[in-house]
Amino acid sequence: MKNFSTVVTRAAAMALAALAVASPVQAATPASACSFRPNAPDQHLVVKGDTLWDISGTFLQNPWCWPQVWGMNRDEIRNPHWIYPGQVIYFDRARGRLSLNRPGSDGTGQPPLLKLSPQVRTEPLERDAVQSIRSGSIEPYLTQPLLVEAGAMASAPRIVASQEGRVYLGTGDRVYVKGALGGGRTFQVFRPSGPLKDPQTGKVLAHEAAYLGSVTLDREAGPGVDAHSFRVAETRQEMGVGDLLLPMPPVPVRNYMPHAPAQPVDGRVMSIYAGVTYAGQSQVVTVNRGSLDGLDVGSVLQLYHLGRTVPDPDSKGVLGMGRKQIKLPDEQYGSLFIFRVFSNVSYGLIMQVSAPVEVGDVAKSPE
């Protein structure tokens, strides 16, 4: 369901965005890393199709510094202020901040006070708001499972029979499900495939899964009955006995705020979607870190190729053998935008990269 508010609320949100410069940022972002571009403009007119990432890159060396130059605290990062086409973002060079008010417009350098009056008309705040990244890049990954953590796999309800023993199920067909529903009524149907192993520990953190469709509850199992009755609401692939269910996730938050993680994160790229060996910009990968490690939606990680180990030319050996080995530094080559987070695993969209991404590459907090 969309969030609706009065025009007063919209004006208040705009005012708060301008006033946010008074709040200290709490993200784990080194101040020295958050510098403005040498050619940063004095202002930027927001147009339809802009994203926060693009606008940030217009002003900043690192787009994940967006919250710091607005002075946002952690609560404001989680619930960011909307920015709309037609607004102008100003670069206050004297204070090193961005603002929706022209610097010095009231003679003090502070945004003017707004007198708000009640209005009757309502409108959806998010309808035209600027998104953090282009939603088309991640839309298929926002609600479909694709990745199921080990704990969820073990406790997932399972289809145990179908209407009249049908093998091919279509919309409206009845299926019977065994297992605890946890109060849910709408579920996604999936089929697990290969395990995803932590590149560092070898532990299975999750399983890849094929999304088959969705089902809705008709009737819960009563006394003396072992299975719940469901109806097929949608089919994407053939589903049947043995396939598993997960509760339909809530409508995803789309106003992600690019930011550094709240605590240091040092992980690895665990898999590349579609099972390819290399990935490039705008492709999706998983990393072996999640909410338990301090990641949340909008976190940005830097990507590194692991430094090679080579023989030390200053050490001696016999016929080149037995030389001391030295470790070369990891090489930073791109960034990763985290858009879906589980307990131990996260999905990330590859942003700017100068080299292909490989499984095992380092993904860690910005330095």
261 in a structural domain? no
State the pLDDT confidence band at 21, using cuts at 50, 70 and 90.
very low
294 in a structural domain? yes
Between the two ends of the chain, the Cα-to-Cα distance in Å is 39
Tokens found for residue 59: 């002003």
The count of other CB atoms within 10 Å of the CB of residue 35 is 14
Q: Which of 115, 135, 155 is the last residue of a domain?
A: 135
What is the span of the domain harbouring residue 235?
143-247
| 30 and 126 inside one domain | yes
| 337 and 273 inside one domain | yes
| 271 and 148 inside one domain | no
| 13 and 120 inside one domain | yes
255 in a structural domain? no
| 9 and 131 inside one domain | yes
Q: Which of 98, 117, 135 is the last residue of a domain?
A: 135
| 12 and 122 inside one domain | yes
In the chain, the number of structural domains is 3
Average pLDDT over residues 255-274: 88
Average pLDDT over residues 29-35: 63
pTM (whole model) above 0.85: no
88 in a structural domain? yes
CA atoms within 13 A on the CB side of 84: 11
| 183 and 70 inside one domain | no
pLDDT in tens, 192-225: 888 999 999 999 999 988 899 999 999 999 999 9
Q: How far apart are CA 71 and CA 32, in angstroms?
A: 15
Q: Which of 135, 164, 190 is the last residue of a domain?
A: 135
| 298 and 191 inside one domain | no
| 297 and 179 inside one domain | no
| 242 and 274 inside one domain | no
The count of other CB atoms within 10 Å of the CB of residue 141 is 17
Contact 177, 158 (CB under 8 A): yes
| 229 and 287 inside one domain | no
pLDDT in tens, 144-155: 878 888 788 888
Amino acid, res. 365 = S
283 — phi, psi (to 5°)?
-95, 165
CATH of the domain at 301: 2.40.10.410
| 189 and 123 inside one domain | no
Beta bridge partners of 321: 318
Give pLDDT, residue 15. Answer: 35
Average pLDDT over residues 91-111: 74
Instruction: Say whether pLDDT at 138 is over 70.
Output: yes
Least confident of 1-5, 66-70, 247-251: 1-5
59 in a structural domain? yes
Q: How far apart are CA 270 and CA 342, in angstroms?
A: 14
Instruction: Say whether pLDDT at 295 is over 50.
Output: yes
Q: How far apart are CA 342 and CA 187, in angstroms?
A: 18
128 in a structural domain? yes
For the chain, what percentages of helix, strand and coil (3-state, to nearest 5) are there?
15, 35, 50
260 in a structural domain? no
